[in-house]
Amino acid sequence: MDSDIVLVIVVFAALAFDFTNGFHDTANVVATSISTHALTPRVAVAMAAVLNFAGAFISIQVAATVAQDVVQATAITTTVIFAGLVGAISWNLITWYFGLPSSSSHALIGGMVGAALAAVGTSAVIGEGVLGKVLIPAILAPVIAFVIGVLAITIAYWTCGRLRPGPAARGFRLGQIASGGMLALAHGTNDAQKTMGVITLALIANGNLSATDFEVPTWVIVASATAISLGTYTGGWRIIRTMGTRIIKMDSAQGFSAQGAGAAVILASSHFGYPLSTTQVIAGGVMGAGAGKRVSAVRWGVAGNLVVAWVLTLPAAAAIGAAAYGFTSIFGNGAVGPLLVSVMAIGLGLALFARRIRAGQPVPQV
């Protein structure tokens, strides 16, 4: 009975993480379309929400990676998964509060690994999976998106550079409707699947699914798709209010190239089961499209922040995940610990949210 209560808490925590993921990442998905006036903010956000929902149904390769290639499903418990989620959500909230560009995906993997290490030890962590399926692709993907961004904008300028600016800009704005749509679809595909993977892992740990032969249940896919879609929609309204202040400036050809680069890398990686940081891939595409026009046009300080986030997120989320497990286990293996931590986490989250709103919301950067 207690384990079922913990499972329900884990499912809600995972969906809450999924919601914050959509909320957090809306800016990345819609910023380029809005800043070039390819789409109005309302249409961009509504389209992103719908396509994030649809994207979650395209593939389950990433979900399978999260469920079976990061931690030993048979060695961990639902309490460990809960602690990992607390690590990820807490780190997301902290970085949101301080306006740091962070990756929800790295926070999730870091939290899970930290909690598993604290609970079981190194034997619970699949080193090969973490390195081969998470860390190396995480480092390479933004670089590949950057290179594609440079090449794509070079092709676009080479082909349409002699056209009068008006017709070319209109054409690329039209193209951005397609590339922005693909980017939203790609985001839904890769990011919603991480939550599906965590819930599936919890179902395996709780004995509801077999560790060796499992399928992601349909209700998990629908719930994850709905949560990320609602988060995207909610986050989008926050962005609409803050648009036009510090958002990136680029022409429509750059917007098209950046979105195309990001969408291609995320979709191809999802197909091969790599859980990427979509934020960093999109940022790589944007910087590539900027650097392809003029190297000094890129805000290299943002690139530096991304590198810092790369280095910090995994260990920080892991440390919080481990601490959350340590605190939870004080109350034994039952539901008391997770319930208490949930209440504390909700209280902390609300306090940070209220304080941030009073101090003025940070504008997300791409």
Partner 1 sequence: MIAVATVVDWEALLDAAVASLVAALVVTLAASTAIYGAATFAEAQRDERYGVAAMAAVLALVGSLVVAASIAVGLYVMING
The residue (of 156 and 220) whose beta carbon lies closer to partner 1 is 156
**Contact between 156 and 257 (Cβ < 8 Å):** yes
The residue (of 163 and 346) whose beta carbon lies closer to partner 1 is 163
Distance (Å, rounded) from C-alpha 181 to C-alpha 360?
Answer: 30
The residue (of 167 and 207) whose beta carbon lies closer to partner 1 is 167
**Contact between 172 and 140 (Cβ < 8 Å):** no
The residue (of 154 and 234) whose beta carbon lies closer to partner 1 is 154
Distance (Å, rounded) from C-alpha 201 to C-alpha 233?
Answer: 27
Min. distance of Cβ 255 from partner 1 in angstroms?
12
Residues that bind partner 1 (CB under 8 A): 58-59, 61, 127-128, 131-132, 136-137, 140, 144-145, 147-148, 151-152, 155-156, 158-160, 163-164, 167-168, 171-172, 175, 178-179, 182, 189, 256-257, 260-261, 263-265, 267-272, 274
Min. distance of Cβ 58 from partner 1 in angstroms?
5
- Cβ atoms < 10 Å from Cβ of 128: 9
Min. distance of Cβ 336 from partner 1 in angstroms?
38
Extract the tokens encoding 365: 């950067």
Distance (Å, rounded) from C-alpha 190 to C-alpha 88?
Answer: 17
Min. distance of Cβ 132 from partner 1 in angstroms?
4
- Cβ atoms < 10 Å from Cβ of 348: 14
> Would residue 71 be called left, alpha or beta, if left means φ above 0 and alpha means ψ between -120 and 50 degrees?
beta
Distance (Å, rounded) from C-alpha 237 to C-alpha 55?
Answer: 21
The residue (of 101 and 137) whose beta carbon lies closer to partner 1 is 137
Distance (Å, rounded) from C-alpha 56 to C-alpha 79?
Answer: 26
The residue (of 225 and 239) whose beta carbon lies closer to partner 1 is 225
Min. distance of Cβ 138 from partner 1 in angstroms?
11
Min. distance of Cβ 23 from partner 1 in angstroms?
25
